[in-house]
Structures are given as C-alpha cells and as structure tokens.
C-alpha cells in the first residue's frame, strides 16, 4: 500500500522538477513561440494543481479515496502522454493543465488513504516515507531529466510518467481499500477559481516585474487582481459551509505553524532548484544535459535523511527534526553565498548541497505529517490538501521570485546569484523559527484532538 502511494507521489513530484532541466530544450523545439507564452508550460501545472488540491481532498473524502486516486492517476497518465506527443506549444500547455488535474486528484487521495490505514503512532513514519519519496523525486528530477534529455530529448522527459502512472493504477486497484467520509460535502467551485486567479496573478506580476518594470500597468494590474481575488476568497470562505480555505483548520496553532513552515520552506526549495541549475549552466557553462548531475549531493542526502526523519519525529516530536533541518538548509545557502565561485570550488558546492539536502529530507516529510497531527480523521483529506496547496502555491511563488532575481541575468559572475542565496537562507531561518511551534510531543500519542 505504502509502495503504491509512493510510486504515485514519485511520478507527480518528478514531473515538475524534471521540467526545470527540459525547459530550454522545449524552447529550442518551438523557436517561434514567445518566452512569455512558453513559460506557461511550467506555471500552468503549478497553478492548476494549487487551485484543485483542496477541492480534490474534499472530493476524495466524499466519493471515496480509492476511486479518486485511480481516476487521478489515469488522468495524469493520459495528460503525460498528450504532453509528450504535443505537436505545438498550445497543445503542450493544454495537456500540462490536464495532467495537473490528475496530479491534484492523486495527492490528497493517496495521503488520505495512508492516514486512514496507519495508526497515529505510525503515521509519522508512513507519511515520512511517502513524503520522502516525493522529496527524493523532486531532488532527483534534474539528474533524471538530464539523462533522458541526453538519451532521447525533451519528449521522453514527459513520457516517462506514462509507465509510472500505469504501475500506480494497477497497484492501487489491487492494494487500496475504499474509505469515505459520508458526511463530507463537496467544496466551493467559485472559491477554487478565486484561488487560481490569485496565484496566477501574483506569479505573473513577480515574473514580469524585472522585464517590464514594477510600475508597469500589467505588473500592477496583476498584483491588484491577485490581492482582490485573495480577499474575495477569504470573505467567501467565512460564509461557505464547505469552503476551499477551511479557516477552522487554521485556528489550531500547530496546524498553522506547520503550514507556515510548508510555505516558507517550499518557496525556498523550489527557488533553490531553479537557481542551482541556472548557476551551473550560466556561471559554470555546463550543458543542460549535465546540469542535473550537480544536484546529486542533495539528492543522496535527502534520500538518506527522509526515511529516518519520520521515525525520529514519531519518537522525539516534529520540531526536534524540523528545526535542525531548516537551519542546515540555511547554512547550505550561506555556503553558496560566501564560498562558491568557479568550478574550482566544486568541493564547497558539494558541502553546501549536502547541507541543503539534509534540510529537504527532514523538513518536507515532517511538515506534512506534523500538519495533520491535530486534525480529526474525518478531516484528513482536506487538511492534507490544504497543506499541499500551501506548499504548491509557495513553490510557484518561489520560482517566480528566483526568475525575478536571476532569470534574466546576463552576467556569468557568481555574485549575480547572491540575492537568491540570501533569500533562500532567510526563508529557511523563518522556517526554523516556525518549526519550533510544531511541538507534537504535547499531543496524545494515539488520539489527536479533533478540530470541529
């Protein structure tokens, strides 16, 4: 059961991280397409995923987590096939959006299945393994993407998810039992649209700011639309019986703190991957087909620590895992800032990425299991989806911030990345501070207090 859920999580996490490496090759394949339009190949997936995760969590609780999981993995696989065979950029963008719909169904359904099947005393271990595999896929994505680019081109980067989806579908149909919450209601469609508009507007404004100027009407208008949609979402969530944004969940201090960690650390995490791949290609002039190999130190460390962090969180409490992990990530960012320049500093680069990988492997699975520690079992789906949505929104904005800081840099000097490394360190320090509030030792080890 855990293995099947992990395969699905691996495929979903692998997809976006591989695309960082494949994107330049996709741009070369469609030379007549403007960069502004082509950037939606990346952003549309994150935006659709973020908008639909919470509704999908409620859908899984209501209609059945197994049913929603199998539907999602089928849609994801078809979307991956359509993306890999896309004859043009508009087809590719539409296929990526469809694939994101499947991804949004998979994540909360698979996590909800695990939360209902494992007792509270083993939940941290199960979610730690599940989240660790997803984190490993995200870390390994650039390296795997580089290998696929070298072997067969960018289409294979997209098509590799098809067999993974097939394995997960067959395994899930055999291993998963159906579980539902008969009292769950379907979520607010209008609220989901407001969330999508808010995230899209903010991401558009951040990425267009350096090119157009921060006072440009398009940039200001995008920001205004994002703020307006966010405020409308909050107001609507207060009135709706089953809102997209469940404000009652945010009333619990532990859930709130874990989601602050999810937001700040996810923003740093995705910005890091954009930054390190760009650094290797722009400053060290490595080809895109080899850039992902420079992430291997983080990949190996994250894989090692992720499978240990869940057990340690169960035994010692989540904050004792998350605080050191976030500080390790911050330390790695500062090493990049002060000590990494040319390729002669490769050894220092490895040290930095080992530190950052240790943070990834401990913080990512821990904030996911820590967030649901205070939640009643009937709200596992929506709580997991809320945390995942928060993480995906933050990841979208983290990449947008990285694009704004270094995406249009024309210099090959290492110092042009200093602002990005400072941002990563700052976000990680905030994550460490918020992690101190995720004190799960104060909770009963078997029965978490329910949030009504």
Q: What is the CATH number of the domain that holds 283?
A: 1.20.1250.20
pLDDT score at 178: 80
Confidence of residue 287 (pLDDT cuts 50, 70, 90): confident
Least confident of 138-142, 285-289, 341-345: 138-142
At 131 the pLDDT is 67
Predicted confidence (pLDDT) at residue 241 exceeds the cutoff of 80: no
Same domain, 402 and 368: yes
Residues recorded for the chain? 452
Residues 346-351 have a mean pLDDT of 93
Report the number of distinct structural domains present in the chain: 2
22 part of a folded domain: yes
Looking at residue 84, its pLDDT comes to: 95
Q: 281 and 198 in one domain?
A: no
Ranked by mean pLDDT, the top range of 79-93, 209-223, 296-310, 363-377 is: 79-93
CB 300 within 8 A of CB 409: no
Residues 69-95 pLDDT 10s: 899 999 999 999 999 999 999 999 999
Q: Does residue 319 fall inside a structural domain?
A: yes
Q: Determine the 3-state secondary structure of 408 from DSSP.
A: coil
67-76, 189-198, 242-251, 390-399: segment of lowest average pLDDT: 242-251
Which pLDDT score is estimated for 87? 93
Q: Between these two residues, 7 and 358, which has the higher pLDDT value?
A: 358
Contact status, residue 358 vs residue 302, Cβ threshold 8 Å: yes
What percentage of the chain has pLDDT greater than the value 70? Answer: 88
Residue 235 within a domain = yes
Nearest alpha-carbon partner for 443 in 114, 116, 120, 118 = 120
Distance of alpha carbon 310 from alpha carbon 70, whole angstroms: 26
Name the CA dihedral angle for 306, 311, 314, 318, rounded to a multiple of 10 degrees.
-30
Q: Residue 383 pLDDT more than 70? A: yes
Which of 241, 270, 285 finishes a domain?
241
Q: Is residue 182 part of a domain?
A: no
For residue 133, pLDDT beyond 50: yes
Say if residue 155's pLDDT is above 90. Answer: yes
**Same domain (yes/no): 434, 382:** yes
Indicate whether 447 belongs to any domain.
no
Query: pLDDT band at residue 446, thresholds of 50, 70 and 90?
Result: very low
For residue 451, name the pLDDT band (cuts at 50, 70, 90): very low
Same structural domain, 226 and 346: no
Whether residue 450 lies inside any domain: the answer is no
pLDDT grade, residue 445 (50/70/90)? very low
Euclidean distance between the first and the last CA atom of the chain, given in angstroms as a whole number: 29
Please tell me the predicted confidence (pLDDT) of residue 374.
67
- CA–CA separation, 320 and 299 (whole Å): 22
On whether both 67 and 104 belong to a single domain, the answer is yes
Listed ranges 48-62, 120-134, 193-207, 328-342; the one with the highest mean pLDDT:
328-342
Q: How far apart are the C-alpha atoms of 183 and 397, rounded to whole Å?
A: 35
pLDDT, tens digit, 9 for 90 and up, residues 37-70? 777 787 788 888 877 877 787 788 778 888 898 9
Residues 6+ apart with CB under 8 A from 23: 41, 42
Which domain does 196 fall in, by range?
188-241
Q: Indicate if 77 and 37 belong to the same structural domain.
A: yes
User: Predicted confidence band at 275 (pLDDT cuts at 50, 70, 90)?
Assistant: confident
Beta-carbon count within 10 A of 88 CB: 11
- Regarding whether 261 and 216 lie in a shared domain, the answer is no
pLDDT of residue 61: 78
Residue at a domain's end among 212, 241, 270: 241
Domain check: are 209 and 308 in the same one? no
292 and 378 housed in the same domain = yes
User: pLDDT digits over 360-372, tens only?
Assistant: 989 987 887 777 7
Query: If you average pLDDT over residues 272-290, what whole number do you get?
Result: 84
Tell me, yes or no, whether 148 and 82 share the same domain. Answer: yes
Mapped onto helix, strand or coil, the DSSP state of residue 260 is helix
Q: Which residue has the higher pLDDT, 198 or 129?
A: 198
Distance of alpha carbon 371 from alpha carbon 373, whole angstroms: 6
Query: Angle, to 10 degrees, between the axis of helix 418-435 and the axis of helix 253-282?
Result: 160
Does a structural domain hold residue 12? Answer: yes
pLDDT of residue 53: 77
- CA distances 167 to 8, 78, 157, 173, 333, Å, are 9, 14, 17, 10, 37
Q: Is the confidence at residue 183, as pLDDT, over 70?
A: no
Residue with the larger pLDDT of the pair 443 and 228: 228
Give 387-391 contacts, CB < 8 A, sequence gap 24+: 387/258, 387/259, 387/262, 388/53, 388/107, 388/108, 388/111, 389/50, 389/53, 389/54, 389/195, 390/259, 390/262, 390/263, 390/266, 391/262, 391/263, 391/266
Task: From residue 195, give the alpha-carbon distance in Å to each of 39, 55, 202, 243, 257.
Answer: 20, 11, 11, 11, 21
> Do 304 and 158 fall within a single domain?
yes
CA dihedral 17, 404, 334, 439 (to 10 degrees): -70
Instruction: Provide the token pair at 274.
Output: 């954009």
What mean pLDDT comes out for the span 136-156? 83
Q: Taking 50 as the threshold, does the pLDDT of residue 444 lie above it?
A: no
Sorted by sequence, the CB contacts under 8 Å of residue 143 that are 6+ apart come out as 292, 293, 295, 296, 299
* Alpha helices by DSSP H, 2-88: 2-29, 35-38, 40-63, 65-84
Question: Considering 241, 260, 281, which residue would you say is the last residue of a domain?
Answer: 241
Helix (H, G, I), strand (E, B) or coil at 286: coil
pLDDT tens per residue, range 316-333: 788 889 999 999 999 999
φ/ψ of residue 445, rounded to 5: -70, -20
- Angle of the 2-29 helix axis to the 120-152 helix axis, nearest 10: 30
Secondary structure tally for the chain: helices H, strands E: 17, 0
C-alpha to C-alpha distance for 220 and 213, rounded to whole angstroms: 10
348, pLDDT greater than 90: yes
User: 10 Å Cβ neighbour count for 146?
Assistant: 25
450 pLDDT more than 50: no
Lowest model confidence (mean pLDDT) among 76-85, 113-122, 348-357: 113-122
Same domain, 296 and 314: yes
State the Cα–Cα distance between residues 267 and 277, nearest whole angstrom: 16
Asked whether residue 147 is assigned to any structural domain, the reply reads yes
């Amino acid at each position: 059961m855990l293995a099947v859920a992990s395969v699905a999580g691996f495929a979903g996490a692998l997809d976006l991280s591989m695309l960082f490496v494949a994107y330049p090759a996709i741009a070369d394949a469609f030379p007549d397409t403007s960069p502004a339009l082509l950037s939606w190949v990346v952003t549309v997936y994150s935006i659709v995923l973020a908008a639909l995760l919470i509704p999908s969590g409620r859908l899984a609780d209501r209609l059945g987590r197994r049913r929603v999981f199998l539907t999602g993995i089928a849609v994801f696989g078809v979307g991956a096939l359509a993306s890999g065979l896309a004859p043009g950029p508009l087809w590719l963008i539409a296929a990526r959006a469809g694939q994101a719909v499947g991804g949004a169904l998979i994540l909360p359904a698979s996590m909800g299945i695990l939360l209902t099947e494992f007792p509270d005393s083993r939940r941290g271990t199960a979610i730690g393994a599940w989240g660790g595999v997803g984190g490993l896929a995200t870390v390994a994505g650039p390296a795997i993407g580089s290998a696929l680019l070298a072997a067969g081109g960018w289409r294979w980067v997209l098509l590799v998810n098809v067999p993974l989806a097939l394995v997960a579908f067959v395994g899930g149909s055999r291993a998963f039992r159906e579980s539902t919450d008969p009292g769950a209601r379907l979520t607010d469609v209008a609220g989901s649209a407001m969330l999508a508009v808010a995230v899209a507007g903010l991401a558009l404004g951040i990425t267009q700011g350096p090119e157009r100027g921060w006072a440009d009407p398009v940039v200001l208008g995008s920001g205004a639309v994002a703020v307006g949609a966010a405020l409308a979402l909050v107001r609507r969530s207060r009135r709706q019986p089953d809102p997209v944004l469940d404000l009652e969940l945010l009333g619990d201090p532990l859930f709130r703190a874990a989601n602050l960690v999810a937001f700040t650390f996810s923003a740093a995490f995705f910005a890091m991957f954009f930054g390190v791949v760009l650094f290797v290609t722009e400053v060290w002039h490595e080809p895109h087909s080899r850039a992902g190999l420079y992430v291997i130190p983080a990949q190996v460390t994250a894989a090692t620590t992720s499978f240990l962090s869940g057990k340690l969180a169960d035994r010692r409490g989540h904050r004792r895992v998350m605080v050191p992990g976030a500080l390790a990530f911050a330390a790695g960012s500062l090493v990049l800032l002060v000590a990494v320049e040319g390729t002669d500093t490769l050894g220092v680069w490895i040290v930095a990425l080992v530190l950052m990988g240790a943070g990834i492997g401990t913080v990512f699975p821990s904030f996911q299991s820590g967030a649901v520690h205070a939640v009643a079992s009937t709200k596992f789906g929506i709580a997991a989806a809320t945390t995942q949505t928060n993480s995906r929104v933050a990841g979208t904005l983290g990449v947008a911030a990285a694009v704004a800081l270094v995406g249009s840099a024309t210099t090959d000097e290492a110092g042009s990345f200093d602002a990005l490394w400072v941002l990563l360190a700052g976000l990680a320090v905030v994550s460490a501070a918020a992690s101190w509030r995720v004190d799960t030792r104060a909770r009963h080890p078997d029965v978490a207090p329910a949030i009504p």
